[in-house]
Amino acid sequence: MTNCYLGIDAGGTSTRAAVVRADGTCVGVGRAGSGNPISAGPDHAAAQVLLATRHALEDAGIGADRMVGGIAAMAGSRVARHADWLNDPLHEAGIGISLTLEPDLLAAFLSATPQPDGYAVVAGTGAVAVRVRGFELEAVTDGLGWLLGDAGSGFWIGHQAIRHALAALDGRAPASTLTDALLESLELDPEAPAEVEGRPGAIQHAVDLLYTWRPVELARLAPLAFTAAQAGDPAAVEIVDEAGRALRAALTSMLVPEVSGPLVFGGSVLTQQPAVASAVAAAVPGQEPLLTSDGLVGAAVLALRRGGVTVSEATFDRLSETIAARRN
């Protein structure tokens, strides 16, 4: 009978669970819906964490009595500091351990490295940079949401690209390939109808359509900017460059001399756009950025560490490999 630890990575879209041994071997993984108590509500979130946990225990073929500790990583763990909303339903369902809450950004960092100190920049729909020290989140910048921050994020890039595409169509900015790319992605005809009340008809159709989206969904169109920038469109190049500068400024604001690295990048803007990643990584000379997709490995690292288990490089490598293998 080996003791096991439970790592939960609770995101806004899905919740992932891993059951791991102290040597880093993952024996089971599970998955469920949104486990974020702010966006999904605490009852729904707790139910999804419980479901992901059950799936992981089934996958491992072990009972809940084998679990000796665990953590749940999630955004907004500040406002959900008390975990009763999560642990009470777990206990009622016969899972006796009490999960502690950890920041999802710390789990993201520790998904790429077992080091106690370093930096992470995550730029997906949103954008945030953090400094990690002694396995704790020491400082955070941005992550202020699409309206007030998230400079350089997928939303920011998509929003700027759409605004520029419409301004060009409207005659207020130089012509750009972003315009045709936008109309094509919205399946609108750039030619007809020629004019609606003194402006190109396509503008009114695009605007009417885009205002039916939730604002944050403009992030979907960030790829238009990357494609146009690669083809040399000056406006798109400027938008992508500006995103890189904004993310670099966020990272730079986190730097202190005592922490040199590692540097961890997450989110599609940084993991799928090498040009942006290079521009941002240049802020920390000599550090090749480590990429991470989600925080499940880091959640498992934290589950072990908070349970008193030292996570060596060998243990970390085993966690990474066995979690990846179980997920496939």
- Residue ranges that bind a second copy, judged by CB under 8 A: 78, 103, 130-131, 137-142, 144-145, 147-149, 151, 159, 162-163, 166-167, 170-173, 196-199, 203-204, 207, 210-211, 215, 218, 246, 249-250, 253
Instruction: Name the minimum Å distance from CB 19 to a second copy.
Output: 29
Instruction: Name the minimum Å distance from CB 42 to a second copy.
Output: 18
288 contacts 142 by C-beta, under 8 angstroms: no
298 contacts 73 by C-beta, under 8 angstroms: yes
Cβ burial 59-89 (10 Å sphere, 16+ → b, else e):
bbebebebbbbbbbbbbebeebeebeebbeb
Instruction: Name the minimum Å distance from CB 187 to a second copy.
Output: 18
Nearer of residues 269 and 304 to a second copy, judged by Cβ: 269
Nearer of residues 65 and 170 to a second copy, judged by Cβ: 170
Nearer of residues 62 and 140 to a second copy, judged by Cβ: 140
Nearer of residues 1 and 147 to a second copy, judged by Cβ: 147
The 3-state DSSP class for residue 124 equals coil
User: In 3D, which of 98, 55, 106, 56 has the Cα closest to residue 78?
Assistant: 106
Instruction: Name the minimum Å distance from CB 327 to a second copy.
Output: 30
Instruction: Name the minimum Å distance from CB 172 to a second copy.
Output: 5
Nearer of residues 175 and 231 to a second copy, judged by Cβ: 175
Instruction: Name the minimum Å distance from CB 151 to a second copy.
Output: 7
Going by the DSSP 8-state scheme, the letter that residue 218 receives in this structure is G
Q: Report d(CA 326, CA 324) in Å as an integer.
A: 6
Which residue carries 């997920």 as its tokens?
A: 327
Instruction: Name the minimum Å distance from CB 142 to a second copy.
Output: 6
Structure token pair of residue 245: 């500068």
Nearer of residues 14 and 39 to a second copy, judged by Cβ: 39
Q: Report d(CA 209, CA 162) in Å as an integer.
A: 12
Instruction: Name the minimum Å distance from CB 322 to a second copy.
Output: 31
Nearer of residues 211 and 288 to a second copy, judged by Cβ: 211
Going by the DSSP 8-state scheme, the letter that residue 287 receives in this structure is -
Reported as type and span, the H/E element at residue 130 is strand 127-133
Nearer of residues 196 and 325 to a second copy, judged by Cβ: 196
267 contacts 124 by C-beta, under 8 angstroms: yes
Instruction: Name the minimum Å distance from CB 302 to a second copy.
Output: 16
Report in angstroms the alpha-carbon separations of 153 from 39, 59, 158, 293.
20, 36, 8, 16
Nearer of residues 14 and 204 to a second copy, judged by Cβ: 204
Q: Is the peptide bond before 234 cis (omega within 30 degrees of 0)?
A: no
Helix, strand, coil percent values for the chain (each to nearest 5): 50, 20, 35
